[in-house]
Structure 1
C-alpha cells in the first residue's frame, strides 16, 4: 500500500525574487498588486511575510496588509484627501506572489510633503483604517482655513503674514493664478480694510515664502490650535 504524503511544510522566506518583473521583495516592502477588476488601478499593500511549500523556494505566497484608497473606504473620497493618499487597514490577506506588479513607496505624511517631486509609485499614509467599522486612527487632525478642512498636500494655500494661518485661494475670493502672484496677504481678521487680491500682484522673487503647495507647509504649526475628526 503506497504511503500517504504528509502535508507540505511552509517555509518562511526572508526575500523572494519575482522573475516576472525582475525585482526582489522582502518583509515590509510596499507593493502594487494586480486588481481583480479590469481597468481599476493596482492595489497597494505591505508585505508582512513570504512563504512557500516548494522545497526549491518557488511558487511563493505573500501575506499582505492592504492599504485602502479613500474611495475604497466607507466614507469615500473627500476634498482633503490627496490624490496619492492611502490608509493602512487592518485587512490582511494571502496572495500569490505572481500577482505583484511592482514595488512602490508609501511615505509618511511629513516625508511626502518634503519630496522634491512625486513619482507614479509614490504614495503617502497619515491614517490607519478599521475596515469593519470605518474608524480612523488618529480620529482628529489639524484643520486650516476658514473652511476648517484638513490639509490636502496637493492644494496650494496662502499664508496670512500676521496670524500665520493658511487659506485656500477659493476661500478668500481669489484664483490660484492670482494667489501665486500675491506680494502680501492678510486675512479678514487681521486686515483693517478689504483687499483686492486679484490686483495685488507681485514682481518680487520672494513671493513663494507666503504661497505653498505640498512641498513645505508645516502642519504642526496649527495642530494644537484646531482639530477635526478625520474620515
Structure 2
C-alpha cells in the first residue's frame, strides 16, 4: 500500500535561509540559478507551502530578461528591464537570495537613483510564442526607437519631441551646456517644416503619443 503524501501547509511568509530577510506572497525575489557566473533569476511569488518535513516550496511566475526572450536584447531595452512571463514553476525556497523591486516603467523613470534591487517591467511576455503585450509602444527621435531610460535625451523647445544627442550629432557634454535645443525639423523655414512633418514615415508628434517621464532627459 502506497504511503499518502503529507498535507501541505500554506504559509504567508518565508525567512530567507541564512538571513533575517522575510519574503511574502506577492513579493518579487532573486533566485539562485545553477550557473554561479550568471545573474540570479527574478520571479514573483504566487504561493508558499511547507510539507510535514518543513521543506518549503514556492510557486513563482518568472520574469525574463530581454536576452532570455526569443527576440533577444534590443537597443531600446534598458539594463534593468524585465518581461513578466506566463511561465510558472515550483522551486525550493532555499534558492531565494533576497527581495527585489520590479517597478512599473513610469515609476522607474521617476526614481532619483537606481539601486541594485531595482528593476522595471513594461511588457508581458508569452514564452511559448515570443509574443508581447502591448505589441506596440511609442517611438521617439529621428531613429524612431522606443524609449530606453538608460539613454540621455534632449527635448526640442518647439515641437516638444525627444531626441538622442548622438542622432543629432551632439555629444552629451554639448547637450548639457545648451540653454535650449531646437531640432532640425523645427529649424527649417515654416513651409519646409510643414511639408516635412506631413511626409510618410515621420516621427509621431506629441499630440499622438504619450511622453513618459524620463530620469536622464535634458531640457
Same structural fold, with TM-score higher than 0.5 when normalized by the shorter chain: yes
What SS is found at the alignment partner of 1:127?
strand
Name stretches of at least 5 consecutive residues in structure 1 with no aligned partner. 194-220, 227-231
Q: Does 1:192 align with 2:188?
A: yes
Find the partner of 1:128 among 118, 124, 128.
124
Name stretches of at least 5 consecutive residues in structure 2 with no aligned partner. 190-204, 211-219
Question: Offset of 1:179 from its aligned partner?
Answer: 1.1
Tell me if the contact between 2:16 and 2:97 (Cα under 8 Å) persists in the aligned partners: no
RMSD over aligned Cα atoms: 1.8
CA distance in 2, matches of 1:222, 1:135: 27
CA distance in 2, matches of 1:132, 1:52: 30
Deviations 1:29-71 (A, max 9, x none): 000000222300000000000011126xx32100000000001
Q: Does 1:34 align with 2:32?
A: yes
TM-score (norm 2): 0.84
Find the partner of 1:224 among 202, 205, 208.
208
Report what 2:145 is aligned to: 149
Q: Which moved more, 1:11-20 or 1:94-103?
A: 11-20
Report what 2:14 is aligned to: 16
Q: How does 1:3-152 map to 2 (within 5 A)?
A: 5-54=3-52, 58-152=54-148
CA distance in 2, matches of 1:60, 1:222: 51
CA distance in 1, matches of 2:163, 2:21: 43
Question: Offset of 1:28 from its aligned partner?
Answer: 0.6
TM-score (norm 1): 0.80
CA distance in 2, matches of 1:32, 1:83: 16
The count of residues paired between Structure 1 and Structure 2 equals 195
Deviations 1:97-145 (A, max 9, x none): 0000111000000110111110001000000000110000000101100
